A and B are shown apart, each in its own frame.
Chain A
Amino acid sequence: MERKLKERMLEESRYDASIKEDIWAKLETELNQTPQPADLSPRLDMTLQKKRRAKLMKRVKWTTGLAAAVIATGVFLSLPAGTAFMNEIQGWFAPEKQVEVEVEGQKEETQQELHQDVESNYVLYYDVDRYRLVEGERADVITTKEPLPEGYPEVSLTIEQALDVAPAALAAQIAEQLKATYAEVSEPERVEEPVDGYVVHAIDGQEWDSEVTRVYLVDNGKSGSFVLQARYFLEASEGHGARFEQMLREFQVLPAE
Chain B
Amino acid sequence: MKRISQGDRAAFRELYDTYFDYAMRTAWLVVQHNEWAKDAVQETFLRVYRNSGQYDTQKPFKPWFYCILLRECYRVMERERKVVPLGEQLERIPVEPQLPDQQVDIYEALQGLDDLYRIPLILKYLHDYSEKEIAEAVGVNQNTLKSRLYKGREKMRQRLGGESYGTQA
Q: Do A and B come from one complex?
A: yes
User: Are A35 and B7 neighbours in the complex by a CB distance under 8 Å?
Assistant: yes
User: Are A87 and B42 neighbours in the complex by a CB distance under 8 Å?
Assistant: no
The answer to whether the Cβ of A109 comes within 8 Å of any Cβ in the partner chain is: no
Q: Per a CB cutoff under 8 Å, which of A35, A75, A255 touches B114? A: A75
Contact A37 to B24, CB < 8 A, known contacts A9-B122, A192-B142, A221-B143? no
Which residues of B sit under 8 angstroms from A26, Cβ to Cβ?
42
User: Are A253 and B147 neighbours in the complex by a CB distance under 8 Å?
Assistant: yes
User: Are A20 and B24 neighbours in the complex by a CB distance under 8 Å?
Assistant: yes
1-42 of chain A: CB within 8 A of chain B: 1-2, 4-6, 8-13, 15, 19-20, 22-24, 26-27, 30-31, 34-41
User: Are A15 and B25 neighbours in the complex by a CB distance under 8 Å?
Assistant: yes
Contact A2 to B5, CB < 8 A, known contacts A8-B105, A27-B46? no
The answer to whether the Cβ of B62 comes within 8 Å of any Cβ in the partner chain is: no
User: Are A37 and B125 neighbours in the complex by a CB distance under 8 Å?
Assistant: no
Which residues of A sit under 8 angstroms from B5, Cβ to Cβ?
37, 39, 41
The answer to whether the Cβ of A180 comes within 8 Å of any Cβ in the partner chain is: no
The answer to whether the Cβ of B166 comes within 8 Å of any Cβ in the partner chain is: yes
The answer to whether the Cβ of A64 comes within 8 Å of any Cβ in the partner chain is: yes
The answer to whether the Cβ of A218 comes within 8 Å of any Cβ in the partner chain is: yes
Majority SS at the chain B contact face: helix
Which residues of B sit under 8 angstroms from A40, Cβ to Cβ?
53-54
0/1 per residue, A216-241, Cβ < 8 Å to B? Answer: 00110100000000000000000000
Complex Cα distance, B98 from A39, in Å, reads 51
Within the complex, the shortest CB–CB distance from A222 to chain B, in Å, comes to 12
Q: Per a CB cutoff under 8 Å, which of B42, B147, B166, B167 touches A221? A: B147
Complex Cα distance, B142 from A30, in Å, reads 37
Which residues of A sit under 8 angstroms from B79, Cβ to Cβ?
none
User: Are A93 and B53 neighbours in the complex by a CB distance under 8 Å?
Assistant: no
Which residues of A sit under 8 angstroms from B169, Cβ to Cβ?
2
Which residues of A sit under 8 angstroms from B167, Cβ to Cβ?
92-94, 97
Which residues of B sit under 8 angstroms from A219, Cβ to Cβ?
141, 143
Complex Cα distance, B53 from A38, in Å, reads 6
User: Are B51 and A38 neighbours in the complex by a CB distance under 8 Å?
Assistant: yes
User: Are B142 and A196 neighbours in the complex by a CB distance under 8 Å?
Assistant: yes
User: Are A41 and B53 neighbours in the complex by a CB distance under 8 Å?
Assistant: yes
Within the complex, the shortest CB–CB distance from B115 to chain A, in Å, comes to 8
User: Are B132 and A192 neighbours in the complex by a CB distance under 8 Å?
Assistant: yes
Q: Per a CB cutoff under 8 Å, which of A1, A12, A221 touches B165? A: A1
The answer to whether the Cβ of A90 comes within 8 Å of any Cβ in the partner chain is: yes
Complex Cα distance, B34 from A27, in Å, reads 18
User: Known pairs A1-B163, A13-B25. 19 more at Cβ < 8 A?
Assistant: A1-B165, A2-B169, A5-B125, A9-B25, A10-B126, A11-B107, A23-B41, A27-B16, A31-B9, A31-B12, A37-B53, A39-B53, A64-B139, A75-B116, A87-B158, A91-B164, A196-B141, A252-B146, A253-B146
17 A-B pairs in the complex with CB atoms less than 8 angstroms apart:
A1-B163, A2-B165, A9-B29, A9-B122, A23-B41, A23-B45, A31-B12, A37-B51, A38-B53, A41-B5, A41-B54, A92-B154, A92-B157, A92-B167, A252-B146, A252-B150, A253-B147
